Structure 1
Amino acid sequence: RARSEPMEPAEPAEPAEPPEPAEPTYPPQPMLGPAWSVWAQISRSWRKTLSPVLLPHAGFLCLRSENVLVFATGITILGVCHSTLTVKGSHLATHGALTDSKCWSKIWLLFFVEVCTAFTAECAKHGHVKMHHAYTNVVGLGDSSTWRLTCLNRYVYMFLAPLLLPILTPLVAIAQLRQVELRTALRTLGLISLGLYSQYWLLLNVSGFKSPSSALVCMFLVRSLLAHPYLHVNIFQHIGLPMFSLDHKPRRIHMMSLGVLNLARLPLLDWAFGHSIVSCHVEHHLFPRLSDNMCLKVKPVVSQFLHEKQLPYNEDSYLARFRLFLRRYEEFMVQAPPITELVGLQ
């Protein structure tokens, strides 16, 4: 048998360069076990969000009563249900947190934002998701400057201006229709008209209002019932916190931990506005597509993580922020905010 020739020794391979460590995700994504199923994510949010679809029947019937207490109960029921649909429902629908289906996400977005809220779906999604969340507290982009009215003094703004929200919302929506296609504008006008007329028709035919003017006044009362806390919550959770310039904005984890604040839990506002807007706003900014129920579940994890990393976890009560804004209104709501630059923060 022929003897094979010895093979030449192969040159030693050069040691492979160690791969660059991947940048860690801050904070780590929450671990989703069996208990954190899709049903666990959305079921409670859906039950709380859609319950106002059933409860208004009792509210409309209460408005038939001549008893002042029963009538006030009807206004309260309809006002809370209206806020749940327009604030909580619209917010979750804007983020696509109600369903994984793109088709149903679009349907719910149109229903909650245009039919219930009388606003433009495209403008709501662009302003809230693409600007406010992408550039949280970046001056001129996501700094909540749309809520500033420098021409108003502190008492007019904090106590009277919220009453204008039910009137200004559809007017602003109509003004924004110039920015969209004609087909989209016609759809938006149709859906907004459908939502407003439906409530007006129910007040006349179910609640028994005798005149159009009395029905319109009742619509105003219902839609403005929680307008004050809605306006206050929107300014309390970002304005007065560090603001950044676009050229020197920090990493996302620093931007969210410094520029977002959680309010203490308030049962009424948690129900009507949602945990992601009130008591879990930091968690919502870190995980925008989490449902309301899931934001509440990850709250202890996020709090522990930020404290371990020596990052701020801003919390305050509604009353404390209210007093602070009354005392420092000129600084927060009139003057240009100071720019914060983070130096040496790793």
Structure 2
Amino acid sequence: MKANGKKGENVYDSVKLDNLPKFSDLRSKVDVVIKQSSWWDLYGVDWAITGIFVALFPVSLLLIRSESWVNIGTGIFLLGWMHSALATKNGHLSAHGSLSSNKSWTRPLSVLFVEIIGSFSEELAYDIHIKEHHPYTNIVGIGDSSTWKMPFLPRYVYMFVAPLLLPPFTPLVSIAGLVEKKAFFGLVKYCVRAGFGLFVLVYSLMNVSHCSLWGALAIVWASRAMLSIPYIHVNIFQHIGLPMYAKESKPVRLYQMTTGVLNLPRSPSIDYAFGHSIISCHVEHHLFPNLSDNMCLKIKPVVSKFLKNSTLPYNEKSYMNRLGLFLEKYDTLMVNAPPITHFVGIQ
């Protein structure tokens, strides 16, 4: 039995659909690791990393205050790295409830990291990521990452220029999405929260770093644009170009996640800017989305061994490999509609 319509079309043809391993078997192995883990493993490591990045905030402000361009550049870099770690890494984890065992903290933490610090609507983030992307990963028209596509842009503009406009467009996209959803109370809450977060940042730059208003706004843009190119890249590298499915022929969860998700190699700069669950443990994250970054890293050997010992793929590619693929096949992957993989399996 085949995963795709044409014989030899790709490696997924070799998956033995009539002998798929059970997700419950993998779950039981991962549960052993979780039960043997301390609070430090489950949550503490990620909170310690958060503390380190928070401590970089006053350091970055003081560096930007300097008259040395080297110090100013370093300060902007640290400010951008801190922003990404809190808004992207912690925003992602908080949306999944992965930062605390007390689930009543899920929404407040998500509001803090996604909305106040990240300037994106927490309500929209929940709808797009938790309600659509995860349950419908690589399902065409629902969770196929098509929200990241801009087919009207040439490849080099999309890959290397357009991401730099992400900072000013983030609040505009949030406002447009909430208006389209007719969530007017949510719109008011978003404007207050995101506005407060931006006010605190600009106020700090003006009063601690001695920037003018326009200078502070320019630094906010520059710092948030600093990692916007790899941010866009990793969001398309992980899913687009892998098998896509129709909703009516959605495969079993273990097959869907292992064929439709890809890990990138570890890299200190982007690992701690975006998180292990987004970079090097994305397969593990899609299989066990409620685990923290540190726990995704901890279960990685168990998951990879289980999948490699089965007929299922464990997708791993380098950043440069995926970048080359997208530049070469930009029209196929990013302009045209994604082709649906013909799935014939035991449901």
What is the CA–CA distance in structure 1 between the aligned matches of 2:24 and 2:184, rounded to whole Å?
42
- Matched-pair contact (CA < 8 Å) for 1:63–1:75: yes
Aligned to 1:195: 197
2:263 is paired with a residue of what secondary structure?
strand
Alpha-carbon offset, residue 38 of structure 1: 3.0
Provide closer, same or farther for how the CA distance between residues 196 and 343 of structure 1 changes in structure 2, counting only shifts above 3 A.
Answer: same
Residues 106-137 of structure 1: CA distance to partner in whole angstroms, max 9, x if unpaired? Answer: 21011001101111111101110110000000
Provide closer, same or farther for how the CA distance between residues 266 and 345 of structure 1 changes in structure 2, counting only shifts above 3 A.
Answer: farther
Alpha-carbon offset, residue 345 of structure 1: 6.5
Aligned to 1:300: 301
- Matched-pair contact (CA < 8 Å) for 1:144–1:239: yes
Aligned to 1:185: 187
The Cα RMSD (Å) is 1.5
Alpha-carbon offset, residue 189 of structure 1: 1.0
Alpha-carbon offset, residue 330 of structure 1: 0.6
Alpha-carbon offset, residue 26 of structure 1: 5.2
Provide closer, same or farther for how the CA distance between residues 100 and 317 of structure 1 changes in structure 2, counting only shifts above 3 A.
Answer: same
What is the CA–CA distance in structure 2 between the aligned matches of 1:277 and 1:254, rounded to whole Å?
19
1:338 maps to 2:342: no
1:72 is paired with a residue of what secondary structure?
helix
- Matched-pair contact (CA < 8 Å) for 1:306–1:312: yes
Aligned to 2:330: 329
In structure 1, give the amino acid aligned to 2:24: T
> Which of residues 205, 208, 215 in structure 2 aligns to 1:206?
208
Alpha-carbon offset, residue 35 of structure 1: 4.2
1:265 is paired with a residue of what secondary structure?
coil
Structure 1 segment 21-36 matched on structure 2, within 5 A: 25=24, 27-29=26-28, 30=30, 31-32=32-33, 35-36=36-37
Aligned to 2:217: 216
What is the CA–CA distance in structure 2 between the aligned matches of 1:273 and 1:295, rounded to whole Å?
13
Alpha-carbon offset, residue 39 of structure 1: 3.0
Greater Rg, structure 1 or structure 2?
1
What is the CA–CA distance in structure 1 between the aligned matches of 2:113 and 2:129, rounded to whole Å?
15
What is the CA–CA distance in structure 1 between the aligned matches of 2:94 and 2:149, rounded to whole Å?
25
**Alignment TM-score, normalising by the size of structure 2:** 0.90
- Matched-pair contact (CA < 8 Å) for 2:83–2:224: yes
Aligned to 1:314: 315
Alpha-carbon offset, residue 52 of structure 1: 1.9
Structure 1 segment 24-63 matched on structure 2, within 5 A: 25=24, 27-29=26-28, 30=30, 31-32=32-33, 35-63=36-64
- Matched-pair contact (CA < 8 Å) for 1:60–1:74: yes
1:270 maps to 2:271: yes
Which runs of 5 or more residues in structure 2 are unaligned?
1-21
What is the CA–CA distance in structure 1 between the aligned matches of 2:219 and 2:195, rounded to whole Å?
17
What is the CA–CA distance in structure 2 between the aligned matches of 1:61 and 1:276, rounded to whole Å?
32
Residues 246-293 of structure 1: CA distance to partner in whole angstroms, max 9, x if unpaired? Answer: 011110000001000000111111111100000000000000000100
Q: Which has the higher contact order (CA 8 A, sep 6+)?
A: 2
Higher share of residues assigned helix:
2
Task: Name whichever of 104-113 and 274-283 sits farther off.
Answer: 104-113
What is the CA–CA distance in structure 1 between the aligned matches of 2:299 and 2:201, rounded to whole Å?
37
1:262 is paired with a residue of what secondary structure?
coil
What is the CA–CA distance in structure 2 between the aligned matches of 1:34 and 1:302, rounded to whole Å?
16
- Matched-pair contact (CA < 8 Å) for 2:33–2:299: no
In structure 2, give the amino acid aligned to 1:335: N
- Matched-pair contact (CA < 8 Å) for 1:115–1:195: yes
- Matched-pair contact (CA < 8 Å) for 2:63–2:74: yes
Aligned to 1:240: 241
Residues 220-263 of structure 1: CA distance to partner in whole angstroms, max 9, x if unpaired? Answer: 10111100000000000000000000011110000001000000
- Matched-pair contact (CA < 8 Å) for 1:88–1:272: yes
